[in-house]
Amino acid sequence: MTMRNETKQSGNPISEEELMNSDIKKLNRRDFIKAAAATGTAAVLAVSLTPTLKALAANNQITSPADEIGKWKPTTCQGCTSWCSKEVLVVDGRAIKVRGNANSKVNGPASCPRAHMALQQVYDPDRIKTPMKRTNPKKGRNEDPGFIPISWDEALNTVADKIMELRNNQETYKYMLMRGRYSYMRDIIYDRMTKIIGSPNNISHSAICAEAEKFGPYYTEGEWTYRQYDVLNANYILCWGADPISANRQVSYYLSAWGDASDRATIAVIDPRLSASASKADEWLPIKPGEDGALASAMAHVILVEGLWYKDFVGDFTDGINKFVAGQNVNESDFEEIYTHGLVKWWNIELKDKTPEWAAGKTGLPVDQIKRVAIGYGKAAPHAISWVGGGPVMQVRGAYASMACHALNGLVGAVDNIGGTLKANKEYTQSFPGVDDYLDDIAKEGKSHKKIDHRGRLEFPALNQKSGGGVVTNNAADGILNEDPNEIKVAIGYMNNHAFSCPQDERWFRALSKIPFVVHLTTNASEFTWFSDIVLPSTHHMFEKWGYVKVHGNGYRHVTLNQPVIDPVWDVRTDETEIPWLIAEKLADRGFDNLLRHYKSYIDPETGKEPTNGQEFALYALKHATHKLWDPEEYQAGDKFNGWEDFRSTGVWNSAPYPFKKRWGAMKTDTEKFEFYSETLKRVLGEHAEKHETTTDEVLSVCNYQARGEKAFVPHYEEPFTHGDSGDLVLVDYKSRLNREGRSANCSWYHEFKDLDPGDESWDDVAKINPIDGKKLGIENGDRIKLVSPTGELECTAKLWEGTRPGTVAKCYGQGHWVYGKVAAKEFGIIPRGGNNNSIIPADYDRLSGSTAYYGVVKVKVEKV
Amino acid sequence: MSKIVSRNVNRRDFLKLGGIGIAAAIVPTLISQQSKASSPLAGKNLAMVIDLHRCVGCGSCSIVCKNENNVDGDVFWSSRISKTTGRFPNVRFEYITTLCNHCEKAPCVRACPTKAMHKGDGGITKHDPDKCIGCRYCIAACPYGVIHFNAGKSHEFWRDDKPLIEGATPSAREVTQAVNGKVIPYYNPARELDKPGTGLRKRGIVEKCTFCDHRVSKGQLPYCVEACPTNARIFGDLNDPNSEVSRILGKFHGMRLKEELGTEPKVLYVRTYSTGTHPKTKGSV
């Protein structure tokens, strides 16, 4: 017999709804004990219970399944770029649990480990609960900003005054907006606000993410995006530095699929350290850092010599006889390609001499393993995935490794194929209203200036589809420091932390110190905040914000909503929508109302109403952007909804299933084919050279690539470029399975479980060194050591570990915060907990993509402390 | 007195009610009988099968366990054993997720002088905090190291009163108060619904995994099973030949930790963490 039955018998039934809303948490422990006592006696003494006690007894004896206390509410996790659709269990306005949103066809109910830590972020005691201003006018790493709380009004007035100063002096191009992680509400603050104020300087974080990963796919198959991988139908999965069960994209999905995928496919992981994925793979190829291009070329060589290329996609020799023989040129006219372009050119220019024996010398891998993996991969065609992660490509000269590793997909016909590598499915969100009607002469003039990151200059081609089409995020620090092309006077950053996440972080310390007025929109006082003048506390993206993101995996694309599933814990506002609206209001007060008038044009598609405040604005903007997904009259494809509320309460829209092979012969390259000889790159690189009145060879020379002539247009091997000749070990940076990008370190679960990354230790930050090197360097397990590079140093603990390739030191990114919070920093503002890898990585670039180099880029000295 | 106190009335509360003479004599017996008759777990032999092949060592189980059961920082009801073996480049990393084995012949139960540690319905090794005197014999007896003693107050982190930045950030205690949590802001009240006051563990007693008895008794899966993104954990009744656990153990050898001790754990591991194959070979001499 349960208490609930008893209550019913005693004539005091509780409805299901009351149960859902029951105020369990308001019972303190003493109440519970009292109630428990009541329970024990209730059977016999029900008549003697006071009404109050009865109510208490009823409340604490709820017999409905535990998860039916409260309500699961849909939202989105942006802890990493998986962007999973989630549900949060909310009890009396309190978020208590997280799970995958089963309505998503991308992630389903699966949830990776780091998603749960979002709870420790939203309730982080070190979150900023009110706007702050700096009281110490001096800025620097060792200058305590002396932050004091101020009102939103004061904060926004100050920001608006500074922007108006630029407008009044007609120097709006000295305004800068730095974007970190974002939802697709981003254009409101990133694009529209920057343009209407009148600046070219909206600088995204993309080039410190993985732009080089997109370079290979773009210049072979015309897609500047991340791929999705059909792992459940694959027979071979080759991971280049990718660690899908830890830290690449769609981690939750791949976690759920990996067991079945590995039942079917052979999995080979190429990584200088034993990653989580390597630990579960059939083959671990512990390659020397930066030599991935050599392995890729050798694999292509073997596949061609062995006749294993996929003939239905690539084509064949006209007489059917394989003429790919090591060291010998082939006549182009002897081979008839179908959906690819330039196979024989690739062979003649690059591959013919790239034997496994040659590659073994470069990569440090055994010849038989190179052959075995190449043949295994080739024989699995066309269901053979070559999965290019950040490791081999976010390097100096990484663009060509990106092409080389990705080109294998073309060779085996895995592109756009079942069990292969896919692009994103079509989705139907729409952009926000345009700005043209709101740009005045000051804005138009300001906007015409050059950008602070130097994209498109001779030495920074950043070829995202065109010369200067991409961003060179980390170079913006140098632009600011050198006032090149101009000084920056007012800067706003949101959900970013360049002073932590960009290599050679001290450049950002100086750059941010130099800017007279810096505003930070953030949840925590981070390294970037340390150099700021005004700090605006932001909502947490998963619990307190309206927004949406779109992402693909498992053969689908979903559009999932960020929703305010709880009331904001503190006096915070949403970075991408409410705060720009509030700034717009303040600018309008000062006689410049263009931005506010623009924002007021975002009308609610349901009611036709114009927004009257920041919260309405956020909601209307979101409804506008996703209009075609939820309005049955605008229906295009994929999931269908009855209206906004139907969509909102489901939380996610799924696309139609993937249309396999639809792009065969219709790729967005210049030839519409998969280009082994990239006519597209030849054109774009040519345009860049022409812009600077020079040759492509000169561009390549200035940009530190080795290729000259025709080689520049085919996937090929380039030797790694590594700083720090006198160093002991090459740094192998990697990402933790618990990293919520750089924002996990103030969560206790992060440290309690840090050992989930193979080789790492709980509550420590260890540099993993092979015992062979440990002996050579006189380093023992547990020694406090310094890693010293030409541009900086960090202190951490040494760990001798067999999973590290000799000659390298593997260390995880994510710790080394000297601010952010009490847990993240050992002593807030003063001493970091662990070491930040970006303190020892020099600022260098894969210039063709604009990407910052993180891997294989520096040799460090190891010193005992 | 303690002999006849049922699961539904804790000893201390019962003593408080001692004044109500008649009730004290009758109630326990009644409730005890009722609860036995109605227990959905009676007659079951609950077990967990962990498929190491599907497990990727992500640790979600252990993190959500803390979340579900309001477990403090240095305490792990769900934990792991991991090790790296071999010499480069022939290196293996292995990972075994661990929890209370809910042994058929539980040494902790035998060691407990107060019957705080006891076998409950479904074969769950349960712990009654009200009977626990904190002697820690169970910890000494458990060969698996899965029982934890609370020397101090739980969740000291969340009892901190000092803000990071005066006036601009809250203190930890302020967060919990602001959202009306209980010591921790994301406190899960479901943990104590069956037994009020047990949502957090008191100082001076032990604690461990309960197979999420508060969920299982309502027909739900233990939360580590529910939340495992790889579906590596399978839960069910060994007495039911049609249960998934029975089916899987019919197919694979169920490895148990420290089998030789004869504790007969109810957590069984199948397949291996290293999923790879290897090329055909006979080796060489």
Residue pLDDT, tens place only, B210-263:
999 999 999 999 999 999 999 999 999 999 999 999 999 999 999 999 999 999
Helix (H) or strand (E) holding A101: none
Would you state the structure tokens that stand for residue B22, as one six-digit string? 């008649």
Instruction: Give the residue on A whose Cα is nearest the Cα of B229.
Output: A110
A 380-419 near B (Cβ less than 8 A): none
Question: Nearest Cβ partner of A25 from B20, B168, B189?
Answer: B189
pLDDT score recorded for residue B275 = 82
Does the beta-carbon distance from B13 to A40 stay under 8 Å?
A: yes
The predicted model gives B89-96 an average pLDDT of 96
pLDDT score recorded for residue A571 = 97
Tell me which residue of A685, A704, A861 sits closest to A785, measured CA to CA: A861
Domain CATH number, residue B137:
3.30.70.20
pLDDT tier, A740 (very low <50, low <70, confident <90, very high otherwise): very high
Over 60: is that where the pLDDT of A48 sits? no
Tell me which residue of A742, A748, A760 sits closest to A810, measured CA to CA: A760
How close B255 gets to chain A, by Cα (Å)?
Answer: 19
Same domain, B63 and B135: yes
The predicted model gives A855-864 an average pLDDT of 98
Which pTM value belongs to this model? Answer: 0.91
Amino acid at B188: N
How close A847 gets to chain B, by Cα (Å)?
Answer: 33
pLDDT score recorded for residue B38 = 63
- We find that the CATH architecture of domain A729-864 is Beta Barrel (2.40)
Same domain, B57 and B22: no
Percentage of chain A with pLDDT > 70?
A: 92
pLDDT score recorded for residue A275 = 98
Considering only A14-28, A444-458, A485-499, which range has the smallest mean pLDDT?
A14-28
Pairing of strands A517-522, A490-494: parallel
Q: Hey, of B91, B184, B215, which one would you mutate to test binding to chain A, going by the most A CBs within 10 A of its CB?
A: B91
Over 60: is that where the pLDDT of A4 sits? no
- We find that the CATH architecture of domain A224-425 is 3-Layer(aba) Sandwich (3.40)
Same domain, B17 and B112: no
Question: Nearest Cβ partner of B169 from A36, A127, A748?
Answer: A127
How close A518 gets to chain B, by Cα (Å)?
Answer: 18
Does the beta-carbon distance from B190 to A66 stay under 8 Å?
A: yes
> Is residue B10 less than 8 Å (CB to CB) from chain A?
yes
Classify residue B66: in a domain, yes or no. yes
pLDDT tier, B278 (very low <50, low <70, confident <90, very high otherwise): confident
How close B13 gets to chain A, by Cα (Å)?
Answer: 6
Does the beta-carbon distance from A40 to B9 stay under 8 Å?
A: yes
The predicted model gives B268-278 an average pLDDT of 91
Same domain, B18 and B127: no
The predicted model gives A41-67 an average pLDDT of 36
C-beta of residue A754 within 8 angstroms of C-beta of residue A786: no
pLDDT tens per residue, range A180-219: 999 999 999 999 999 999 999 999 999 999 999 999 999 9
The predicted model gives A108-132 an average pLDDT of 98
Q: Hey, of B87, B159, B179, which one would you mutate to test binding to chain A, going by the most A CBs within 10 A of its CB?
A: B179
Scanning A704-841, the segments in alpha helix (DSSP H) are 748-752, 771-777
Percentage of chain A with pLDDT > 90?
A: 92
Question: Nearest Cβ partner of A280 from B20, B56, B163?
Answer: B56
Classify residue B187: in a domain, yes or no. no
Does the beta-carbon distance from B93 to A252 stay under 8 Å?
A: no
Would you state the structure tokens that stand for residue A727, as one six-digit string? 């160093």
Does the beta-carbon distance from A66 to B214 stay under 8 Å?
A: yes
Amino acid at A346: W
Backbone dihedral region for residue B175 (phi beyond 0: left; psi -120 to 50: alpha; all else: beta) = alpha
Q: Tokens 């009988």 map to which residue? A: B33
Question: Nearest Cβ partner of B165 from A276, A525, A804?
Answer: A525
Q: Which domain holds residue B45?
A: 41-154+201-270
CB contact set of B64 (below 8 Å; sequence gap of 6+): A97, A116, B223, B224, B226, B227
> Is residue B15 less than 8 Å (CB to CB) from chain A?
no
Same domain, B17 and B95: no
The predicted model gives A462-466 an average pLDDT of 97
CB contact set of B156 (below 8 Å; sequence gap of 6+): none
Classify residue B189: in a domain, yes or no. no
Same domain, B141 and B51: yes
Q: Hey, of B38, B88, B252, which one would you mutate to test binding to chain A, going by the most A CBs within 10 A of its CB?
A: B88
Same domain, B82 and B26: no
Same domain, B48 and B137: yes
- Average pLDDT over chain A, rounded to an integer: 93
Same domain, B140 and B79: yes
> Is residue A147 less than 8 Å (CB to CB) from chain B?
yes
Q: In what order do the strands lie in the sheet with A517-522?
A: A148-149, A132-133, A534-537, A517-522, A490-494, A175-179, A202-203
Query: Which part of chain A is CATH 3.40.228.10?
Result: 224-425
> Is residue A670 less than 8 Å (CB to CB) from chain B?
no
DSSP A592-621: --HHHHHHTT---TTT-PPP-SHHHHHHHH
pLDDT score recorded for residue A68 = 64
Does the beta-carbon distance from A805 to B88 stay under 8 Å?
A: yes
Question: Nearest Cβ partner of B197 from A36, A259, A805?
Answer: A36
Same domain, B103 and B239: yes
Classify residue B168: in a domain, yes or no. no
Amino acid at A775: K
In degrees, rounded to 5, the angle at the alpha carbon of residue B156 between the alpha carbons of residues A117 and A749 is 20
Q: How far apart are CA A460 and CA A467, in angstroms?
A: 9
Same domain, B141 and B120: yes
pLDDT score recorded for residue A865 = 95
pLDDT score recorded for residue A3 = 34
Question: Nearest Cβ partner of B180 from A61, A94, A112?
Answer: A94
- CA distances to A805, A854, B236 from B136, rounded to whole Å, are 44, 50, 30
pLDDT tens per residue, range A306-320: 999 999 999 999 999
Instruction: Give the residue on A whose Cα is nearest the Cα of B186.
Output: A96
3-state SS, A381-394, equals: CCCEEEEECCCCCC
Classify residue B174: in a domain, yes or no. no
Q: How far apart are CA A697 and CA A668, in angstroms?
A: 26
- Report which DSSP code applies to B156: G
> Is residue A259 less than 8 Å (CB to CB) from chain B?
yes
B 100-139 near A (Cβ less than 8 A): none
pLDDT tens per residue, range A610-666: 999 999 999 999 999 999 999 999 999 999 999 999 999 999 999 999 999 999 999
How close A597 gets to chain B, by Cα (Å)?
Answer: 33
Same domain, B112 and B222: yes
Classify residue B196: in a domain, yes or no. no
> Is residue A322 less than 8 Å (CB to CB) from chain B?
no
Q: Which residues of B touch A125 (CB under 8 A)?
A: 160, 163-164, 169-172, 174-175
pLDDT score recorded for residue A67 = 52
A 364-383 near B (Cβ less than 8 A): 372
Pairing of strands B90-99, B78-87: antiparallel
How close A300 gets to chain B, by Cα (Å)?
Answer: 22
Query: How many domains does chain B fold into?
Result: 2
How close A323 gets to chain B, by Cα (Å)?
Answer: 29
Scanning A46-127, the segments in alpha helix (DSSP H) are 51-60, 113-116, 118-122
CB contact set of A74 (below 8 Å; sequence gap of 6+): A85, A86, A87, A101, A103, A560, A561, A563, A565, A648, A649, A650, A651, A652
Query: Which part of chain A is CATH 2.40.40.20?
Result: 729-864
pLDDT tens per residue, range A778-819: 999 999 999 999 999 999 999 999 999 999 999 999 999 999
pLDDT score recorded for residue B279 = 84
Question: Nearest Cβ partner of B91 from A2, A127, A802?
Answer: A802
Over 90: is that where the pLDDT of A45 sits? no
